[in-house]
Structure 1
Amino acid sequence: MNLIIEGKDMNTKQQGFTLVEIAIVLVIIGLLLGGVLKGQEMIKSAKVKSQMQQIDGISAAFNTYQDKYGAMPGDDANAAANTGVAGLAAGNGNGDISRAEGNARVWQHLEGANLLAGYTPGANGRFLNKYGQQTFVDSNYAGLSGAIVCTSVPNDVAVEIDRKIDNGDGASGSMRRHNQTAYPATAGNSWICTAA
């Protein structure tokens, strides 16, 4: 027996959602997606800022070592005596950082002098940046003079760091791409270089 009040069958169940319910669900989904995307953007921005701070920290440590010991880390012929770390490999002391000195010895000398926090050795004692990529020091590299710090980061990050520090152009300025060309818009990595 069906109960009928004012012409409506009270035992019939409503089918589907109302437009108001659908609109509320869509608003909630939109807010969640917006929050996730904003969160990802904030994480990326924090990582870029952290990478910029790491580059600044390397430069500060490099210059402090020079001031303290009168030699460039990596090139220091008296590194073991200067740092007090027995067996620390010495550089050749010629005032120029070679690739071998800049790939590993720089980081070993800075760590030995307790000037570089967060040193993470990679293959062959190389320094790894916030993106897990190699960082090295070289002399007169990428069209820049003196001791130059270079690190490999994703192309979009390279552009962002260069834009925040310099002019956003990999071919000129105080921060450059290793081959002094514009940053590619495609996926991949670029070496960004600046004076130590």
Structure 2
Amino acid sequence: MAMRSAGGGSMGARQRGFTLMEIVIVMAVIGLMLGGVSIGRDVLREAEYNRIQSKFLLPWKQSYDLYYQRTGVVIGDSQVAPTLMVNGYEAEFDHMGSGVAGIPANYHNTGHRLCHGAGYPANTTGGGDRPLSNLNLHQLFDRVGIRMPPGRAEGAEDRYAYTDTNGNPAELQICFQWNPDGTISGAGNVMVIRGLTPDLARKLDHMIDGKPDAYEGRFRQQNANANVLQRSRQIPGSEWEANNSYSNLDPTTSAYGEGAFGEEERVVLVTAHWIMDQ
């Protein structure tokens, strides 16, 4: 017969709780597993940012430079009467003035954004969007026989799909435009990159300029205020005006919708200008 304890229960059936050491070990293992998942996400995100730079942005800059080498003008400019401006074909010379042709300041109807389609509605990824050009980015490249970077898909080479830090889908769009003197995001011909999360913008800024400064160097944040007297214009150390906890789904609270945020929300998107060499 089985031995029974004084209380009548079987000694083999007696239950024993976890010791403090066992609980500590289990908690440590769980912590290591969660830490490994977090580190893994960061590594994957860093790899994605590197791909965006090497497989998308740099090839687009190379395509822009190749267009200039093949045609002698920047994209959208007139070969017979160059203005030195992106979309210069639509620029109108001020015949009533005393200026000479070929100087950007002597033209009007300038600075239109040269894209493939409208893309995002105006000012939804930061303020300051320019009017759209009547020219088409794809048609201009096709006309001179330049194959564009693969991008998102055939016919959408100017787009790149990725996920923000909360796992929500986001999309980059490439355009080009000419900025007049005094533009905070940089004067001259620029690549317009719409749909950047703030941490992606900082990463690309650091790759291109060596430091993530929103209003200095060749990679800057688009700004609706073109006043050269703005305090941030000549003072280094301006941060990108957003962070990854903010959502841009609630435009009633502020420009970036800081009233709606959380780990499940979409991360706010910003627009950057990369100053081109030509």
- C-alpha contact 2:220 2:274 (8 A) present in aligned 1: yes
Identity %: 21
1:148 aligns with: 190
Matches within 5 A, 1:34-113: 34-53=35-54, 54-75=56-77, 94-98=83-87, 102-104=114-116, 105-110=136-141, 113=145
3-state SS of paired residue (2:38): helix
TM-score (norm 1): 0.73
1:175 corresponds, among 200, 219, 232, to: 219
Alpha carbons of 1:15 and 1:76: their partners in 2 closer, same or farther (altered >3 Å)? farther
Matches within 5 A, 1:9-28: 10-28=11-29
1:190 corresponds, among 261, 264, 270, to: 270
Question: How far is the alpha carbon of 1:64 from its aligned partner?
Answer: 1.1
Question: How far is the alpha carbon of 1:190 from its aligned partner?
Answer: 1.6
Alpha carbons of 1:35 and 1:111: their partners in 2 closer, same or farther (altered >3 Å)? farther
Q: Which amino acid aligns with 1:42?
A: V
How far apart, in 2, do the equivalents of 1:34 and 1:50 lie?
Answer: 24
3-state SS of paired residue (1:159): helix
1:84 aligns with: none
- C-alpha contact 1:75 1:101 (8 A) present in aligned 2: no
What value does the CA root-mean-square deviation take over the aligned residues?
3.3
2:208 corresponds, among 157, 165, 169, to: 165
How far apart, in 2, do the equivalents of 1:125 and 1:12 lie?
Answer: 68
TM-score (norm 2): 0.54
Q: Which amino acid aligns with 1:45?
A: E
How far apart, in 2, do the equivalents of 1:106 and 1:157 lie?
Answer: 24
**Long gaps (5+) in structure 1:** 79-91
Is 1:116 the counterpart of 2:148 in the alignment? Answer: yes
3-state SS of paired residue (2:73): coil
Question: How far is the alpha carbon of 1:74 from its aligned partner?
Answer: 3.6
Q: Deviations over 1:24-72 (max 9, x none)?
A: 3222211211111011101211122122222221111110121123233
Q: Which amino acid aligns with 1:96?
A: M
- C-alpha contact 1:129 1:151 (8 A) present in aligned 2: no
3-state SS of paired residue (1:151): strand
- C-alpha contact 1:74 1:101 (8 A) present in aligned 2: no
How far apart, in 2, do the equivalents of 1:158 and 1:95 lie?
Answer: 28
**Number of aligned pairs?**
179
